[in-house]
Chain A
């Protein structure tokens, strides 16, 4: 977003009582061409993925990359230590005794993948973000409990304060507020 911090996320927050109403409203916004809007829900709603046409998360590729890279680094560390840095003959065993290196390589692959999944998820979500404009809406604390919200940003080209407010109310919102 290019706008200044003051403008970030400015817009309307609409409250809905049921997931069905929220999904319907999100679909309507999507079809009307809105793009800069978000739904805030107490639990994931699979129907919302389709309604909002959410793209597939790039996370699997991040996880694959971090898992493979950490695994290779783990193997390389073992190889380097026994082949180059300190070759040590233990009972005539081959220096590059690769089967013994597999468990650590495996564990590090897992560690890298899991770390990639968690950090990747947090970064993709833009967290940690202690403050967000939507937090200014009344009753927004119930977005993590039992109510459903749509946040439409003023920066959206389709946004028009009066019309959008009216639209949200027509879509079944039980309360629209400025943020």
Chain B
């Protein structure tokens, strides 16, 4: 019942999750230091400046989009879904690792989640934020977005409940809200630690207000742990449902290449794959910049790589089954599409996808790749590129040659497509940089729990002092 009883964590490999020689005080000092430090590292300022430049680009792209319209993008019939939907699915997929690490690994009692869950949750939150922007921007008239919500309007209009696009609104909105709550609940004890360690009045206030007056009461911890476990239990089906519903956007249609029953599990596996890759892409540099090697050990890297390798194989199986079901269906449109993907005008995308997403990640079978930061970083980048290409292939190649050859076309993203995409990268990374600057990127209270488990067992309850 209790998610953090010491009996659950005891076992082999525990020592490797935290360098030895740490005490409650030392981990607290070490992990809150980077939030409370008065000096901001030079690399942070440079990185944040670059991200602000991307945000400027984003603002210009948005201004252009809102004044001119979605025609500035490359979307033209027959390809009416382009970068916007590709990026939406890519970002929301990245957003799946946080909840997976926090919720599913908690329920599975995997103690290695402790050093990475906070960071992955924050990443989830910012990725969902970027993802949510794309369908809104694609509306064209973004100021009318509330039409999609059920409210008693004067026209008597209701959303079309039978449409996966409406389900998507509910799924993504729920996911964003639950991720935010999960992240915040996890942060409360750490915010209290920051409040108590802060020396400057403004900082004390800032963290104090956010900490809600948390004081570490045993009676509170009891409710807190129950809430956290319940949230994990609730978030687990949620995380699976969100990408399933995203896949319904495609699978419920009758477009060849989209109308596949395998899509929900295939999408969920891809999301986890891509999300873990993004966690690694971000955490490997941060680990060395903030010298967090004591907390994010080779064991963590090894285990994350293994999850990536396993989900990568699911995804590769998905590619295989896509081709197989196209052939086995006997449907000429499905068969044509499968051949067109591999040999048509977008063959470059399909082949790069196979290289980056299937071939290169096989390097993870070697232990060397799994524990060597630079090699792992390269593989993780390759997976992120590959998963982006996968969504590009699914969205664009399925549309560009439909039933009527006279209506075929070729989709080319414009400068504004790229500007919007890079803009959301800037939004994502600047939010993440702010997060690692002001909040602890590793759950301090949870690491303290790990430290206590190394200590001799607590008092024998039978014989009080």
The one of B182, B231, B241 in contact with A107, judged by C-beta atoms closer than 8 angstroms, is B241
Digitize B448-461: 1 where CB-to-A-CB distance is under 8 Å, 0 elsewhere. 11001001111101
How many Å from the CB of A179 to the closest CB on chain B? Answer: 12
Q: Is A31 an interface residue (CB 8 A)?
A: yes
Digitize A109-133: 1 where CB-to-B-CB distance is under 8 Å, 0 elsewhere. 0110111011011101101111110
Contact in complex: B461, A59 (CB < 8 Å): no
Q: How far is the CA of A122 from the CA of B184 in the complex (A)?
A: 12
Contact in complex: B213, A118 (CB < 8 Å): no
Q: Is B193 an interface residue (CB 8 A)?
A: yes
Contact in complex: A25, B465 (CB < 8 Å): yes
Q: Which residues of A contact B425 (CB under 8 A)?
A: none
Q: Is A155 an interface residue (CB 8 A)?
A: no
Contact in complex: B458, A108 (CB < 8 Å): no
Q: Is B4 an interface residue (CB 8 A)?
A: yes
Contact in complex: B189, A131 (CB < 8 Å): no
Q: Is A143 an interface residue (CB 8 A)?
A: yes
Of B73-81, B217-225, B367-375, B432-440, the one contacting chain A is: B217-225
Q: How far is the CA of A145 from the CA of B457 in the complex (A)?
A: 20
Best-surrounded residue of B178, B234, B241, B456 (most CB of chain A within 10 A):
B234
Contact in complex: B459, A21 (CB < 8 Å): yes
Q: How far is the CA of A110 from the CA of B222 in the complex (A)?
A: 22
Q: Which residues of A contact B150 (CB under 8 A)?
A: 77, 81
Contact in complex: B208, A130 (CB < 8 Å): yes
Q: Answer whether A27 and B459 are a contact pair too, CB < 8 Å, given A44-B224, A46-B2, A127-B213.
A: yes
Interface hits, B176-196 → A, CB 8 Å: 177-178, 181-182, 184-185, 189, 192-193, 195-196
Q: A: which residues have CB within 8 A of B?
A: 18-21, 23-28, 31, 38-52, 54, 56-57, 59-60, 63, 67, 77-78, 81-82, 85-86, 90, 93, 97, 100-101, 103-104, 106-108, 110-111, 113-115, 117-118, 120-122, 124-125, 127-132, 134-135, 141-146, 170-172
Contact in complex: B459, A146 (CB < 8 Å): no
Contact in complex: B216, A114 (CB < 8 Å): no
Q: How far is the CA of A136 from the CA of B162 in the complex (A)?
A: 58
Given pairs A40-B218, A63-B234, A77-B150, 8 additional interface contacts (CB within 8 A)? A28-B465, A54-B218, A67-B234, A81-B161, A100-B162, A117-B230, A132-B213, A145-B196
21 A-B residue pairs with Cβ-Cβ distance under 8 Å, sorted by A, are: A23-B461, A27-B464, A40-B217, A43-B446, A46-B2, A48-B218, A49-B2, A56-B226, A57-B223, A63-B230, A103-B170, A107-B241, A110-B238, A111-B177, A114-B235, A114-B238, A117-B181, A125-B217, A143-B215, A143-B216, A144-B189
Q: Answer whether A24 and B230 are a contact pair too, CB < 8 Å, given A41-B221, A47-B458, A59-B223.
A: no
Contact in complex: B178, A111 (CB < 8 Å): yes
Q: How far is the CA of A115 from the CA of B193 in the complex (A)?
A: 25
Q: Which residues of A contact B157 (CB under 8 A)?
A: 86
How many Å from the CB of A103 to the closest CB on chain B? Answer: 4
Residue of B whose beta carbon sits closest to that of A104: B170
Contact in complex: A114, B178 (CB < 8 Å): yes
Contact in complex: B23, A45 (CB < 8 Å): no
The one of A42, A60, A85 in contact with B158, judged by C-beta atoms closer than 8 angstroms, is A85
Q: Is B203 an interface residue (CB 8 A)?
A: no
Q: Which residues of B contact A170 (CB under 8 A)?
A: 465
The one of B164, B192, B464 in contact with A31, judged by C-beta atoms closer than 8 angstroms, is B464
Contact in complex: A146, B245 (CB < 8 Å): no
How many Å from the CB of B21 to the closest CB on chain A? Answer: 15
Q: Which residues of B contact A42 (CB under 8 A)?
A: 24, 28, 193, 216, 445, 448
Best-surrounded residue of B184, B457, B459 (most CB of chain A within 10 A):
B459
Contact in complex: A20, B459 (CB < 8 Å): yes
Q: Is B288 an interface residue (CB 8 A)?
A: no
Residue of A whose beta carbon sits closest to that of B208: A130
Contact in complex: A104, B167 (CB < 8 Å): yes
Band of interface residues on B = 35 or more
Contact in complex: B24, A146 (CB < 8 Å): yes
Q: Is B138 an interface residue (CB 8 A)?
A: no
Q: How far is the CA of A18 from the CA of B451 in the complex (A)?
A: 12
Q: How far is the CA of A44 from the CA of B8 in the complex (A)?
A: 14
The dominant DSSP class at the B interface is helix
Q: Answer whether A144 and B216 are a contact pair too, CB < 8 Å, given A24-B465, A103-B170, A107-B171.
A: yes
Q: B: which residues have CB within 8 A of A?
A: 2, 4-6, 23-25, 28, 150, 156-158, 160-162, 164, 166-167, 170-171, 174, 177-178, 181-182, 184-185, 189, 192-193, 195-197, 208-209, 212-227, 230-231, 234-235, 237-238, 241, 245, 248, 445-446, 448-449, 452, 455-459, 461, 464-465
How many Å from the CB of A133 to the closest CB on chain B? Answer: 10
Best-surrounded residue of B171, B193, B218 (most CB of chain A within 10 A):
B218
How many Å from the CB of B267 to the closest CB on chain A? Answer: 14
Q: How far is the CA of A111 from the CA of B160 in the complex (A)?
A: 20
Contact in complex: B230, A142 (CB < 8 Å): no
Contact in complex: A86, B156 (CB < 8 Å): yes
Contact in complex: B218, A129 (CB < 8 Å): no
Contact in complex: B185, A118 (CB < 8 Å): yes
Contact in complex: A144, B217 (CB < 8 Å): no
Residue of B whose beta carbon sits closest to that of A131: B213
The one of A107, A122, A144 in contact with B215, judged by C-beta atoms closer than 8 angstroms, is A144
Q: Which residues of B contact A100 (CB under 8 A)?
A: 161-162
How many Å from the CB of A83 to the closest CB on chain B? Answer: 11
Q: How far is the CA of A29 from the CA of B452 in the complex (A)?
A: 23
Contact in complex: B445, A104 (CB < 8 Å): no
Q: Answer whether A47 and B459 are a contact pair too, CB < 8 Å, given A21-B465, A28-B465, A38-B217.
A: yes
The one of A52, A115, A121, A130 in contact with B226, judged by C-beta atoms closer than 8 angstroms, is A121
Contact in complex: A43, B445 (CB < 8 Å): yes
Contact in complex: A111, B459 (CB < 8 Å): no
Residue of A whose beta carbon sits closest to that of B177: A111
Q: Answer whether A129 and B213 are a contact pair too, CB < 8 Å, given A63-B234, A108-B174.
A: yes
